[in-house]
Structure 1
């Protein structure tokens, strides 16, 4: 096998097939998306005079799949242009074209006979080095290819993506009994590094790992709900973040997934397991069958367990009463144990507070969790080789904060097992063996060391981790902190690279982080090869400390505010012009000041899922940390020097990005918007982001880094400002913006055009920074801006005033 994957064929253009094709295109692969030839014409096709032989008709299903992926929300593509990597076709005319593909993925309907028939045809055209796989969510991998040749079976495995494939981290690999282990190794590495997935190896059992446990957990939740007489909204209050689960909890998750999909998965497990108790466990309640009959499937049909209704210009979410089958206003669950869980710090403390509570919410949570943990341990040997695969599958596939075994450790294995025994439960042999060996946890962790996990032999084994997965927490446990204060730390990444890590609340930029930037510049300049700016929090940085700025403004501490903004600007300039390379590593939200901490870097190594933007206008401000200047530089740097080109269109692009608070939908989109340069790198798997940023920084250092030199910036001056102001006037006349929006826009225009100077004037960066700071301080003193800031802090939403 050549072990190179550049071109992929996806067979089946339904929701999953098209979305898988989209993600493959996102990461730069060439994709063929094929589906069946339609059996008959649509009315629209007949009206156009088309026939069943017309190519547009024959490719209709593939074309419709791609169209749906283009329109999907959340977006399937990183950027619209990525769809151009997908070539459409059909099984009759184009199946032979899979011969030049390195990987063929089957994603047709979940029907064993149909899959077997398709694989029979695929084998005729498959390249001798190609991998072939099925995206099945539960059909036996072995059964699908039992009649295929040994060579085909050697290259065949299950590759189960979770929906939506772009965003869901889990990829389950399911080898068959004849799959070449080398191919499993190759596909695991490809899934992690190229596709950005968290890959787990699952055994060929009904619905594999995540859907098997997740579906069981949902069904026992439905049983416990009836026992404790709770409503769907009350269950969701318990089974969300308080239990370390997503905000969508139970019933909102079912609505998002679709009740038809849930029913299919549950039915598949029930039909394929052998023990009678387990068959009974996967029988869905009658009310779900009734909802299926009513087509109350959830989000895709507009109603399920919840329904959004509009009344008097506002909307309300109603909850389904499963006794009356009528929708009612949602109720707030009153529970001491739930309140205690919400107040607790950390997932472990939250779960302990909840499941050991004595009220109905606590007893309900215990009932659900107990059954899920016992079921998982019961099925451990059947579904996976180790507990790490199971925990990761549930974290990556269902967005649990802790996997089942991590959860068991969190609530105390000994304590919980004693309670289970007292309640008459049979403890799985796997768990009894753990306790009999004198161990009290499934994981063993020593500060600074790789975690170990329990194996059935009674011993612990180190968790296998990719070498590219840097853990800042572990480095800090190893004593690798060089400097730190309340908001940031400098951490030794090894090989001469230092990391500037933000750890203030929400990584908001305040005086402590600005101070640490100064320290970092001096420290790296004197003792290190390169600097990486990054962290491993939920978001890179959501901006400056808004509360601090509002308080200073309300107290009219203008000198203090001026000093803070000036220090932020100068910190960014020091990063930009220091004598060692700087690489910034943004991910998730990098907004406002977060974006401004990326702009000074020599290079940005961004997570593919990076949402970058200058959003200050949402709180009545403009960027204050050099963001306007940097967007202007980025906008005009592509204009050839010495060419008599008007800069106005380029300046307008920068103005629109800031004035409209445009936020990128991906790192690739950030490149299109100009927040990132085409030379900046993109890492698809966020677990490898710091490693890639470190390598990029060290490569700059090893290449003989030359510090950048300041250059004067050409501005369009007052005449260019007049053009932009005409556009703002049009927006105001049309009623799209308020008077205060106009005031903000005029301040922004003054900065971007260089103020009161003629067109073509060359100005230094500091001149633009001074204009920016002046505008920022002027706006922060405006009552309407302060109202916007207060509203954002209170509600988390922008105010239009």
Structure 2
């Protein structure tokens, strides 16, 4: 099998929540997919939650209930249920219709047309083996068969396969939800061809947008092994310290550089039954001889009690927490009932956790308070665990740290934090606790921790690679061709940056707001450095300078943020002092400069490409729509949101909506501008944000000709390639043209609709005032229908409307509320 082997079509076996969401993500990235499950006929299950045990004979468990008469109703129901799931599995809800549904009895012949088959049925080895026996004759000779499992032995599962299929079989562990969770663990067996794993790694990275970690075939692989052990250790240490669930979550969430949901809320989201299953995998496949931490793998009594009660977390409405009206209650194990929650940790520990790593760990280790002792114990146990198990579960320390970043939303992996805090000093503190019997295991830290290359380098991550305990050396990253597309990959602490990447490129100029640099001498890259990439007057000047430089010396300009977000818009905090000092005229001048900058991007003499990731809101949205081309990561959230602070878009966003409405009308037999204007007006007036690049394209902020990429690490590579291609094709800026607007008739129609919404109590008076001003701009104001206007004319209307609202007390309240809380004020 070649590394160039294309995966054109995929089958997903099992239409449970996980299988259906895997199918949805394949549709998100434009991969044709067939979703299989049991046949639904009289006497067989008809719901997506029905038992999923297909066998070679097609027999089913007792208790099956009547079907709907549609043979593939189970898979169809699962597809329909995708619309109910939050967060949304589909980038565009209507794309659910692209998932083909099938059943095991009638449609197995369809497998012959699939290049990859992902089995995602229940986590039972006997169920999975039965299914393999049934499908094996239908698997194409070139196809890959992969099992999605969170911890079952891949080798044991593959033992039942025909010899011809064993070398094309492996494990792929998607994390839930598959669209959003970046980690994908790839697990081979002794029989798996290396080319199969390389092919899947390429597909997962390039097409699915994943971060791939190759895991050993050990119980729960890497992320769930380390994460579950850490969760169990946290429960043990919380009980020792006498801390309540809410305090533990406050300490082990953002404050500790981990997922905001902390420990127990995360378990509620994952599902207590799912966590219980993962714990049992450790219990059933390990023992005290094979794992010195085995004694800590017992199912916590509180978890067992909640599972017994059927309180499985978010999916059942109650778990460690439950909602009672507007109140959130927590489970009190001593009382066996729910009590009010909301307690917070002592702020002294919050301040400790903000200190530099070395100081932070010393303070926690020396702490005498229960919360400080708890935090030190949690971190100590994590360092101890990964050091002891590195040799067995991962090729290198890199795999563990990346798995915990991508699978458990940690800002740093455990090895990274240890290394940053001072390798040998932390190691001595950990070993002292082990010797004193305070740790969860009496096994000492491995010898390589204290002497040899790691001790000499001051940690496991170096410019030469990351430490492999099995190979006793530093190993570099894999050099598959797909990684050459990642000019600025996500690096771990201590790793060497790419010579082609951001800091390795050549800087042309840099100030506090922007860096202009080039990775290759052909295309200039502009990276905003302001907080949240806000566009301050100084940042605007720097971007204008970068555009001058690109037109003079380069073949294109790429605006690339480096990390999320792309830009949350104009700098409101800079604008308000300007308004106070110079009044509306000064703000109008600032706006005009911003508008002219965005027009320059549109009419530049070199192609301008916006490389979009994360949020692109307000002025950030206006900046990208004026570029010649957009390359957007799938998880891009784009919209004009100014109404949330009581303003109208003032950087050309409304002008763009009006121009696009005219351009769309020109390509249609329907020449009524209002029909083409309505969606853009509604999006701006309601501050609609596309919750994916696909939805943003449906809203008109991305064009059909724009490029969507799944992997954020490839965003810069693709954007530069687009700029080069446009230059090679003889790029010329578009002509400036006048375009027709809807005029006073369209404005009156929209205003009448707004009156109905206001009088019906659906919008406030201030919402009405703002939306009416938006309508006045996008329709061209008080002019005859069909009047042709320029972009500059409409931008003048934008500035007038913006200035009119900037002096309004209710707008002031909205702005101050947003700056203070980050949340919109409705008034």
Fold agreement, TM-score > 0.5: yes
Q: Which deviations, in whole Å up to 9, do the C-alpha atoms of 1:582-618 show, x marking residues without a partner? A: 0001111110011011011111000000000000001
Q: Which of 168, 174, 195 is residue 155 of structure 1 equivalent to?
A: 168
Report the secondary structure of 1:412's partner residue. helix
* Aligned pairs for 1:576-587 within 5 A: 576-587=602-613
Q: Which of 11, 14, 33 is residue 13 of structure 2 equivalent to?
A: 11
Q: Which of 603, 608, 613 is residue 634 of structure 2 equivalent to?
A: 608
Q: Which residue of 1 aligns with 2:718?
A: 692
Offset at residue 438 of structure 1 (A): 4.4
Q: Which residue of 1 aligns with 2:137?
A: 124
Offset at residue 53 of structure 1 (A): 9.8
Specify whether residues 430 and 571 from structure 1 end up closer, same or farther in structure 2 by C-alpha distance, changes over 3 A only.
farther
Q: Which residue of 2 aligns with 1:48?
A: none
Q: Which of 316, 319, 327 is residue 301 of structure 1 equivalent to?
A: 316
Report the secondary structure of 2:515's partner residue. strand
* Aligned pairs for 1:451-466 within 5 A: 452-456=465-469, 459-464=473-478, 466=483
Offset at residue 641 of structure 1 (A): 6.0
Contact 2:44 2:65 survives alignment (8 Å) = no
Specify whether residues 54 and 438 from structure 1 end up closer, same or farther in structure 2 by C-alpha distance, changes over 3 A only.
closer
**RMSD value over aligned CA atoms?**
2.3
Specify whether residues 512 and 721 from structure 1 end up closer, same or farther in structure 2 by C-alpha distance, changes over 3 A only.
same
Q: Provide the C-alpha distance between the structure 1 equivalents of 2:398 and 2:670, rounded to a whole number of angstroms.
A: 62
Q: Provide the C-alpha distance between the structure 2 equivalents of 1:777 and 1:174, rounded to a whole number of angstroms.
A: 59
Q: Provide the C-alpha distance between the structure 1 equivalents of 2:532 and 2:734, rounded to a whole number of angstroms.
A: 31
Q: Which of 99, 116, 135 is residue 103 of structure 1 equivalent to?
A: 116
Contact 2:384 2:430 survives alignment (8 Å) = no
Q: Within the alignment, does 1:279 sit opposite 2:294 as a pair?
A: yes
Q: Within the alignment, does 1:61 sit opposite 2:74 as a pair?
A: yes
Q: Which deviations, in whole Å up to 9, do the C-alpha atoms of 1:218-268 show, x marking residues without a partner? A: 000000001111111111121112222111111111111111110110011
Gaps of 5+ in 2: 48-63, 436-441, 490-496
What TM-score do you get using the length of structure 1 for normalisation? 0.94
Specify whether residues 726 and 29 from structure 1 end up closer, same or farther in structure 2 by C-alpha distance, changes over 3 A only.
same
Q: Within the alignment, does 1:77 sit opposite 2:96 as a pair?
A: no
Report the secondary structure of 2:588's partner residue. helix
Q: Within the alignment, does 1:333 sit opposite 2:350 as a pair?
A: no
Offset at residue 129 of structure 1 (A): 0.5
Q: Provide the C-alpha distance between the structure 1 equivalents of 2:565 and 2:580, rounded to a whole number of angstroms.
A: 29
Offset at residue 434 of structure 1 (A): 4.8
Q: Which of 375, 379, 384 is residue 365 of structure 1 equivalent to?
A: 375
Q: Provide the C-alpha distance between the structure 1 equivalents of 2:640 and 2:510, rounded to a whole number of angstroms.
A: 28
Offset at residue 745 of structure 1 (A): 1.4
Contact 1:173 1:201 survives alignment (8 Å) = yes
Offset at residue 493 of structure 1 (A): 2.4
Q: Which of 324, 334, 345 is residue 323 of structure 1 equivalent to?
A: 334
Contact 1:607 1:667 survives alignment (8 Å) = yes
Q: Provide the C-alpha distance between the structure 2 equivalents of 1:738 and 1:748, rounded to a whole number of angstroms.
A: 15
Q: Provide the C-alpha distance between the structure 1 equivalents of 2:569 and 2:67, rounded to a whole number of angstroms.
A: 54
Gaps of 5+ in 1: 46-50
Q: Which residue of 1 aligns with 2:486?
A: 469
Q: Provide the C-alpha distance between the structure 2 equivalents of 1:624 and 1:524, rounded to a whole number of angstroms.
A: 26
Contact 2:46 2:67 survives alignment (8 Å) = no
Specify whether residues 117 and 43 from structure 1 end up closer, same or farther in structure 2 by C-alpha distance, changes over 3 A only.
closer
Q: Which of 261, 270, 287 is residue 248 of structure 1 equivalent to?
A: 261
Q: Within the alignment, does 1:404 sit opposite 2:414 as a pair?
A: yes
Specify whether residues 642 and 294 from structure 1 end up closer, same or farther in structure 2 by C-alpha distance, changes over 3 A only.
closer
Q: Which runs of 4+ in 1 moved over 6 A?
A: 42-45, 51-55
Q: Which deviations, in whole Å up to 9, do the C-alpha atoms of 1:349-398 show, x marking residues without a partner? A: 76666556453322211111111221112111211111111111111111
* Aligned pairs for 1:545-694 within 5 A: 545-555=571-581, 557-640=583-666, 645-694=671-720
Specify whether residues 111 and 39 from structure 1 end up closer, same or farther in structure 2 by C-alpha distance, changes over 3 A only.
farther
Offset at residue 634 of structure 1 (A): 2.2
**Structure 1 residues 718-727 or 60-69, which shifts more?**
60-69
Q: Which residue of 2 aligns with 1:168?
A: 181
Contact 1:258 1:297 survives alignment (8 Å) = yes
Contact 1:78 1:665 survives alignment (8 Å) = yes
Report the secondary structure of 2:485's partner residue. coil
Q: Which deviations, in whole Å up to 9, do the C-alpha atoms of 1:602-638 show, x marking residues without a partner? A: 1100000000000000110010111111122223312
**Structure 1 residues 605-614 or 29-38, which shifts more?**
29-38
Q: Which residue of 2 aligns with 1:764?
A: 790
What TM-score do you get using the length of structure 2 for normalisation? 0.91
Contact 2:40 2:68 survives alignment (8 Å) = no
Contact 2:33 2:100 survives alignment (8 Å) = yes
Q: Provide the C-alpha distance between the structure 2 equivalents of 1:40 and 1:291, rounded to a whole number of angstroms.
A: 36
Contact 2:13 2:120 survives alignment (8 Å) = yes
